[in-house]
Amino acid sequence: MTSPAAQQFWNELRLTTQSRIGLGRAGNALPTTRVLEFAAAHAAARDAVHIPLDVEATVAAVTAVGIGTPAVVASQADGRSEYLRRPDKGRLPADLDAVPRGNSDIGVVLADGLSPRALTEHGPGLLTALVDVLGERYSLAPPVIATQARVALGDHIGARMGVRTLLVLIGERPGLSVASSLGIYLTHLPMPGRTDADRNCISNVHPPEGLGYAAAARVVAGLVDGARRLGRSGVDLKDTSRADELGPGPRAIS
């Protein structure tokens, strides 16, 4: 049996992490409470993957942000089952006729990805934060909602939109600690054929435990500015959003 002092130690340490630590034991097994918590987390992760996006509600929430009524597109994956079995189909558009052409600075795609729940819970809030940070300096295209979508689907959408920089807000793969986390993928000059080396990613957007909307938007703004100066995104582009907070680095001794 765990001593009261040991139990207090683990209780305090668990407040600092979402990892499953200090679970204790009942005989040769985990306590029943911990087993039930694990089963509930596993069920939540499975539901996050399989329950489809409520497109109508998402369109309403995104429209309320105020940068236009979103177009809705789908990948070539026919339903959730094929989406999970055929990632290649999730990267290709079924039809982009609904996406208006233009020449805005920035386009935003809100994609269900592997957690439609994450897009439902965090997509509109994150989009609002992005508009607040980017809207005064850059022109923003009307957003696009993409279903059964992988990240690379955004390359086709961004090329159709004619934007210089594309942001894909996509539901990340659920884990046993977090089932509703969003990732942001930034691609400068999007076009079919781009690879992951051409993108920058900000992950774990799921306040209050994960990265907050405003903090994520500040990182995105720094990357957008850097991509425009550099002329590209990806491995050569680094996040400098915290440079002012951290101060100057050590000086070389000559």
Beta strand 182-188 with 165-171: parallel, antiparallel or unpaired?
antiparallel
CB contact at 8 A, 51 and 124: no
**Nearest C-alpha neighbor of 151 from the set 111, 115, 117:** 111
Contacts for 179 with CB less than 8 Å, ≥ 6 apart: 41, 44, 45, 47, 48, 115, 117, 118
CB contact at 8 A, 119 and 125: no
Is residue 187 helix, strand or coil?
Answer: strand
CB contact at 8 A, 117 and 59: no
Q: What is the dihedral of CA 125, 202, 231, 153, to 10 degrees?
A: -80
**Nearest C-alpha neighbor of 119 from the set 77, 72, 182:** 182
| Cα(97)–Cα(160) distance, integer angstroms | 9
Report the 10 Å Cβ neighbour count for 158.
Answer: 29
- In the numeric block, which tokens belong to residue 107? 């386009």
Which residues are known binding-site members?
151, 172, 201
Which residues are known binding-site members for adenosylcob(III)alamin?
151, 172, 201
| Cα(21)–Cα(24) distance, integer angstroms | 9
